[in-house]
Structure 1
């Protein structure tokens, strides 16, 4: 007889993560997920040990989702024996908010009951958070919250007090670290609350066999999966191309010696390749049904390491040999994920290019800009709402920008000067009102104010998460596209300043992601960029080439950091989209083929092309045939000839080297 199995999903942030994550971390996180297993009329989860309650009766309230996982043929008595066994492993002192939590437990139990696993959108949440600059900055603080020096002592989430270094890192990584820290503290308290209850209101804890208490001086690394049964082990083999397994036991001294090496490798390799592609797995032969996993593969001694490619064992060795472990991990990953062909190329000129965005930082005469905007509003027969919006904007926006970006030589902005969300919202609402009353040709002074404002981290972060109807970036993009589609030459200034504003937006990780993600404004950003690259005005083309470079540099930085195995940087979490990148390459090549006036435009376009092509996952499958059809190599080399760029072709030596290298090394 089979029994249905479900998981209940709760949001520990009570909706705050969805609302605040993008401006705080630069990544949209829809919830801080807590899960539990529901089977045999019981809801079971991990916190201060393995706890259970009647379904839906825990302190988390009503679940957001109840997900049917399937059915189990395992009887309740066997399941209870399994819980008793793994309770030696899922103890209170090992709990960690990111690394070893309720979802780790749920995933393992689901594997035992059904052979499946929890959904990836739940499982990948810790790595999603840690991939943000803010998450990486707070990692040491989170570790301290759940790391206790007393063996066997259950951790109680401490008040979140970052060290001075961590606090500074957090301040640099988020526009509001104090708010994020408070949110994190609340989540930790909610996650670790010992309030799972039975029908009488008393805590219900799965009994734990007598065992030596485990020291809580370290935690299980997040990329390391813990398997206590054959079902979850085979599920991992099926869901990952490459799997590295360490068979261990609590009494094994050599295991404790080499575990830090194993965990360091897990962190380094999964950062570069992704946890969904490579898995590092620990099987404790003394916990749960770990001995059955070991028996299946003939493991009798610890530590034993095994390596799997596409679910097939490729190699194994015994003993705490760190050099052999590193070597075999590298060999497995080389077989599973051959390096990009461009890693074999010598590209000194391209590698010397900076991935820092090209920004337009000039501070205009703000009084003149505001005066010009006021005259446009006054001459447009304004409504009372438009007049009021003009006055609201005039009274505070330029005042803030003057203080934030002083023009006097050597002047510094006041310390701790930062616009709050309420003030920015008022500016944005006034901007929308004015922009709707003016033509595309008249709003360029307003766009120029925001072009400068986006260099302010707080304002850029606000724009990253603002709804489209009040987001000035979205409003101005719409106006610019309207002017470009109509070939409205009178709106040249608006198109120009909008492109410069978008270039400045690429300096903020959260804002550039919102501009380039498919769920954000990628389509509009691409429309404006592609149309502007062929504009009749050379200054507009220069701004468009700058924006093309910034977009390509954003992608390139993520690829390079991923290749090095560094912490994911801006761009690393943007999903590669071959069709979109082909569209950008096509636009850049067309612009290069027609650009005969400005060597600076040729330089920026060629650099953008280099970044779009180099290390692209779509290079062999999509770019090679496409570049051949478009005769990309001939187009680039034509820039070096007479009339290709100016009367005598490209003249600057560094630009000539770049054009030659891209043509000969990256274009077939």
Structure 2
């Protein structure tokens, strides 16, 4: 008699993913999903091996969803035999949050029971996460937690760690049911773990274990390149070639390249996949690109296997035309953002700001509340931080916490930004510029922006950009302080994401409007600040591309942004370079920005390169080396080297 099959869905992050994902990754991820199969009156899931419990009685508690997956015509005995065989594949030591997890197991079970698969929004989550620069950067950290250190890996950017650590810790503990460590396999009180098996001595994190056609087809659809290893535990040549396959997987697997292992000795699943592709002997390697088989290799030929893997990854992800060029000047440019850290005369700023507040339409009560927050909390806190940066030690108001400052900004900015005239907003922008140098407060701004779409610096950015779009005359102090504040929004990667990656809130357009509008300003200080902001924007996209180039992991650099935006920025930067005739620092920052835009852009061949000739980029840059009549000659050695390199190699 057919038995109903259900899918139980849980969130391993306990809500943290929904709260933090947008600011961390640029994508809204509503949960880190854990799933289990409910059939024959039992809940079966994978964590510390395959575990079985009464429905809803695992350490995960009550499910968020229970999805009906249809019925199975199999009997319970047959399914139990299948589970016993799967215990050899899904052991505790082989668990990996991204590569071999609870959803991999559930998907296999669904394929066996019903011929279907779990929903794509669950099974595609690792690929979606790894397709972001943050996910790619965090991959080595996750590998360290579940596999041990990955060669050449690095942890996530330090600016992201305060938020990422809480999320990762929660997910890792909930995934396996182990509190405080992911490396010790303790029994969970609510579940019955499978008997422990000997740890695999050479398990490779990037390898996907496929035991049914649904899982394998999903792998083909979510990766541009797939290398499938058909093996058997009774095959001596397979044991010889397996370490080579694992090493190649460790070196080359990425968000776009997958390595799959299919055991023909399995009574379930593996033989199905083999029959689809006519595989009858082991070891056999099949190579796929875009879901289509491109090559087949039989036997344990390590040299040929490596050659075919290299060929497939090269064809799937051809190296950037600039990747092999000797670009010493370009690659020596620091990727750190240009920040404006100089302190201010706080008393003068306070006096000017309060005079503007007094002229606003706010009620007397609101004015008093705002002025009190600024006087008693924000300015004393910023004074202390300025003294610390200048080596003067801490002041007398060290008891003020970053939390109190965040609350003070919430109170002060609630009505103030909307009620001040744009021409009067510059003292507030200057205080926010200094505030963003403090990591806890900058993190609060990113969290606030992720939750509501805006924060105090975002609101100022929008006010000034809107005025520029409406062709209002903006005084120099407003432009200068807003540009410097916007540049300091790059102190943290997660905060920068809220203005560059999250396009739906309009901040990306406003930032671009502000920067481009000021590149040709008459005042050199404004041009310097605008060039610095453009540099930070270009460096933001350059950083993950450089990391992918250094690590050699194919298909892992996020191709964020879009070609039209890069063309717009490229055109503005080239025009500014052409017109800059008095300030060498401005010119140097503009050329550095241009280098980042051209170096590893995924849009170089299709959109940027054609524009270079139209805009006469090469001649524009090389002309700066010769000097201009009535202007200036570039004298700094590093600036001249960069001008020549970008002009002859990236624009040639």
Q: Which of the five TM-score ranges fits, normalised by the shorter chain?
A: 0.7 to 0.9
C-alpha separation in 2, matches of 1:408 and 1:9: 49
Partner secondary structure for residue 341 of structure 1: coil
Asked whether the equivalents of residues 243 and 309 of structure 1 are also in contact (C-alpha less than 8 Å), the reply is yes
Residue 632 of structure 1 pairs with residue 617 of structure 2: yes
Query: Which residue, out of 219, 224, 228, partners 1:245?
Result: 228
The aligned residue for residue 372 of structure 1 is: 352
Asked whether the equivalents of residues 25 and 129 of structure 2 are also in contact (C-alpha less than 8 Å), the reply is no
Partner secondary structure for residue 422 of structure 2: coil
How do residues 474-485 of structure 1 correspond to structure 2 at under 5 angstroms? 474-485=458-469
Change (3 A) 1:630 1:378: same
Change (3 A) 1:74 1:633: farther
Change (3 A) 1:387 1:253: farther
C-alpha separation in 1, matches of 2:384 and 2:235: 63
The aligned residue for residue 152 of structure 2 is: none
The aligned residue for residue 15 of structure 1 is: 15
Partner secondary structure for residue 225 of structure 1: strand
Query: Which residue, out of 577, 582, 588, partners 1:592?
Result: 577
C-alpha separation in 2, matches of 1:96 and 1:337: 26
Change (3 A) 1:245 1:30: same
Partner secondary structure for residue 31 of structure 2: coil
Gaps of 5+ in 1: 145-167, 198-202
Structure 1 residue 355 displacement after superposition: 1.8
Asked whether the equivalents of residues 47 and 176 of structure 2 are also in contact (C-alpha less than 8 Å), the reply is no
Change (3 A) 1:544 1:389: same
Change (3 A) 1:263 1:26: farther
Gaps of 5+ in 2: 149-154, 179-184
Change (3 A) 1:336 1:184: closer
The aligned residue for residue 526 of structure 1 is: 512
The aligned residue for residue 460 of structure 1 is: 442
The aligned residue for residue 434 of structure 1 is: 416
Asked whether the equivalents of residues 423 and 478 of structure 2 are also in contact (C-alpha less than 8 Å), the reply is yes
C-alpha separation in 2, matches of 1:169 and 1:565: 14
C-alpha separation in 1, matches of 2:342 and 2:554: 31
Change (3 A) 1:297 1:38: same
C-alpha separation in 2, matches of 1:171 and 1:627: 36
Partner secondary structure for residue 406 of structure 1: helix
Asked whether the equivalents of residues 99 and 208 of structure 2 are also in contact (C-alpha less than 8 Å), the reply is no
Structure 1 residue 226 displacement after superposition: 0.7
C-alpha separation in 1, matches of 2:293 and 2:172: 43
C-alpha separation in 2, matches of 1:186 and 1:596: 59
The aligned residue for residue 598 of structure 2 is: 613
How do residues 440-519 of structure 1 correspond to structure 2 at under 5 angstroms? 440-467=422-449, 468=452, 471-489=455-473, 491-517=475-501, 518-519=503-504
Structure 1 residue 18 displacement after superposition: 1.7
Residue 282 of structure 1 pairs with residue 261 of structure 2: yes
Aligned pairs, number: 628
Asked whether the equivalents of residues 50 and 91 of structure 1 are also in contact (C-alpha less than 8 Å), the reply is yes
Asked whether the equivalents of residues 47 and 92 of structure 1 are also in contact (C-alpha less than 8 Å), the reply is yes
Query: Which residue, out of 557, 560, 564, partners 2:543?
Result: 557
The aligned residue for residue 33 of structure 1 is: 33
How do residues 25-424 of structure 1 correspond to structure 2 at under 5 angstroms? 29-37=29-37, 44-50=44-50, 63-64=63-64, 75=74, 81-92=81-92, 94-112=94-112, 113-114=114-115, 118-119=119-120, 121-124=124-127, 127=130, 131=135, 136-137=140-141, 140-141=144-145, 174-175=161-162, 179-180=166-167, 183-184=170-171, 187-188=174-175, 214-216=197-199, 220-250=203-233, 259=242, 262-271=245-254, 274=255, 277-287=256-266, 288-294=268-274, 304-310=284-290, 311-319=292-300, 325-380=305-360, 382-383=362-363, 384-406=365-387, 410-412=391-393, 419-421=401-403, 423-424=405-406
C-alpha separation in 2, matches of 1:519 and 1:547: 21
Change (3 A) 1:293 1:134: closer
The aligned residue for residue 542 of structure 1 is: 528
The superposition leaves residues 344-371 of structure 1 with CA deviations (integer Å, 9 ceiling, x where unpaired) of: 3332322222222111111223333223
C-alpha separation in 2, matches of 1:633 and 1:35: 56
Partner secondary structure for residue 197 of structure 2: coil
Partner secondary structure for residue 597 of structure 1: coil
Q: Which moved more, 1:173-182 or 1:10-19?
A: 173-182
C-alpha separation in 1, matches of 2:609 and 2:157: 42
Change (3 A) 1:523 1:65: farther
Change (3 A) 1:617 1:334: same
- Cα RMSD after superposing both structures: 4.3
Structure 1 residue 74 displacement after superposition: 6.7
Asked whether the equivalents of residues 23 and 175 of structure 1 are also in contact (C-alpha less than 8 Å), the reply is no
Asked whether the equivalents of residues 376 and 438 of structure 1 are also in contact (C-alpha less than 8 Å), the reply is yes
C-alpha separation in 2, matches of 1:621 and 1:138: 35
The aligned residue for residue 151 of structure 2 is: none
Partner secondary structure for residue 124 of structure 1: helix
The superposition leaves residues 143-189 of structure 1 with CA deviations (integer Å, 9 ceiling, x where unpaired) of: 68xxxxxxxxxxxxxxxxxxxxxxx9998753368755763466346
Asked whether the equivalents of residues 484 and 532 of structure 1 are also in contact (C-alpha less than 8 Å), the reply is no
The superposition leaves residues 497-552 of structure 1 with CA deviations (integer Å, 9 ceiling, x where unpaired) of: 11111212213111111111124521221222222223333221211111111111
C-alpha separation in 2, matches of 1:253 and 1:420: 62
